[in-house]
Amino acid sequence: GMPQLLPLVADGAAPPFARESFDALLLDAPCSNTGVVGRRPDVRWRFTAAGLADICTIQARLLRQAASLLRPGGRLVYSTCSIEAEENALQVEKFLTENKSFTLEREQQLLPDRGHDGAYAALLVCTCS
């Protein structure tokens, strides 16, 4: 029959998996939520420069950890519901500068619109051997 899928509660900054355990990962990173202000007005009042810096540090740590879990040729989608460059394109750019064995295959930034929230996603590929 089908393999049984069991939920696992763990810290993404210290994942309980061996290096190179996965072919593909989705990192839906914690973020400032600035892409969903239309639905969550409280975001506007909680957003601060210091908070943004803290969340960027957490995102960078999670991205590094997720990357270490990929096998050569593995794919990693990094996503947020933010429209802040620091959490999105700049975060990915910084990661790529520090991790030469990854390439950006494509990225997309959506701005909030009547039909959808704001969001960002980047597809990173492990070119390591």
Q: Cα dist. 88→6, 29, 48, 118, 129 in Å?
A: 30, 10, 17, 12, 27
Residues 6+ apart with CB under 8 A from 15: 65, 66, 69
The one catalytic residue in 31, 56, 81, 126 is: 81
Residue with tokens 């892409």: 35
Q: How many residues are listed for the chain in this entry?
A: 129
Report helix, strand or coil for 26: strand
Distance of alpha carbon 21 from alpha carbon 95, whole angstroms: 20
Check if 81 is active-site: yes
Residue with tokens 């089908």: 2
Q: Which residues are catalytic?
A: 81
